[in-house]
């Protein structure tokens, strides 16, 4: 299938490693010029170089902390100046800290809001007018399967992801007449640094090892394994493509069948 993506431009947020990087690489393999960002410069530049070397596409990289409004403004401005416009926006960010309800005060809730919900709102706001004027756009958010089934011990994430999904559903309705699709992709357990860090956090309290925790998670998944970032990215790349032109307002889990509910 020709995805019809050659020559498009994309901004993939939080993309120096993990799923964001896999999405940027996946888009670049389809001929998309990609802007990537992260806080840490060294890994970001190494990733940009890796994508350039493998795909020969133009990669624009800029450090940004997505929990900071000014960084987002600067990032989108610079990416737009570099490419002329942004066709595809992939909203992603780091995950908030694990913990239960009574572990968090207002400042922790505010920080999770800035990182995971406000960043998506701000990124969308920065690109939507341009997409409307051009009559074409793709917005894809990376959230979590917790939108469908909240995960114990991840209350900050559970709440913010649900907010992002609400925004996606509303925006999809509002932007459909302008040729812009808006979809949410929900990872289950994808083998990245984030899931390893969460397992390390549980290691001590569960009196076990990271490997055993990851293996235990795998046993809860019908496919009996964690996903890899490329498997996740393939779904995002399809949604970003011309071929997904009639898909909007969806929330798609990429979880190896882990969520058992029919909806």
Q: 10 Å Cβ neighbour count for 245?
A: 12
Distance CA 77, CA 86 (A): 10
CB of 82 to ligand NAP, least distance (A): 18
64 belongs to the binding site for ligand NAP (CB under 6 A)? yes
Please tell me whether residue 115 binds ligand NAP under the rule CB under 6 A. yes
Q: Is 190 in the site for ligand NAP (CB under 6 A)?
A: yes
Q: Based on the shown chain and the rule CB under 6 A, indicate whether residue 61 belongs to the binding site for ligand NAP.
A: no
Which of 9, 55, 67, 253 is in the footprint of ligand NAP by CB under 6 A? 67
* Closest CB to ligand NAP among residues 137, 227: 227
Task: Quote the least distance from Cβ 179 to ligand NAP, whole Å.
Answer: 27
Q: Is 257 among the residues that bind ligand NAP (CB under 6 A)? A: no
In the complex with ligand NAP, the residue whose CB is nearer, 158 or 208, is: 158
Residue 35 in contact with ligand NAP, rule: CB under 6 A: no
User: How far is it between the farthest Cα atoms of the chain?
Assistant: 56
Site for ligand NAP in 84-113 (CB under 6 A): 92-95
Q: For residues 83 and 35, is the Cβ–Cβ distance under 8 A? A: yes
Contacts to ligand NAP by CB under 6 A: 14-20, 37-40, 43, 64-67, 92-95, 115, 142, 144, 157, 187, 189-190, 192-195
């Amino acid at each position: 299938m020709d995805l019809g993506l050659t020559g498009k431009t994309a901004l993939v947020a939080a993309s120096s490693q993990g799923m964001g990087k896999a999405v940027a690489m996946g888009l670049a393999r389809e001929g998309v010029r990609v802007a990537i960002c992260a806080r840490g410069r060294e890994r970001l530049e190494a990733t940009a170089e890796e994508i350039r070397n493998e795909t020969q596409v133009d990669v624009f990289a800029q450090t940004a902390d997505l929990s900071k409004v000014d960084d987002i403004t600067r990032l989108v401005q610079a990416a737009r100046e570099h490419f002329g416009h942004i066709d595809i926006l992939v909203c992603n960010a780091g995950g908030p800290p694990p913990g239960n309800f009574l572990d968090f005060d207002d400042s922790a809730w505010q920080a999770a809001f800035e990182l995971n919900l406000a960043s998506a709102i701000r990124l969308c706001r920065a690109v939507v007018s341009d997409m409307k004027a051009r009559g074409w756009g793709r917005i894809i958010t990376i959230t979590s399967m917790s939108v469908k089934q909240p995960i114990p011990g991840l209350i900050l994430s559970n709440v913010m992801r649900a907010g992002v999904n609400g925004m996606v559903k509303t925006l999809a309705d509002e932007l459909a007449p302008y040729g812009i699709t808006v979809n949410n992709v929900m990872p289950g357990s994808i083998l990245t640094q984030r899931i390893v860090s969460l397992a390390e956090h549980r290691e001590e309290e569960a009196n076990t090892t990271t490997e055993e925790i990851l293996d235990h998670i795998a046993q809860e998944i019908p496919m009996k394994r964690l996903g890899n970032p490329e498997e996740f990215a393939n779904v995002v790349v399809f949604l970003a493509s011309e071929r997904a032109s009639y898909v909007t307002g969806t929330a798609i889990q990429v979880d190896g069948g882990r969520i058992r509910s029919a909806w």
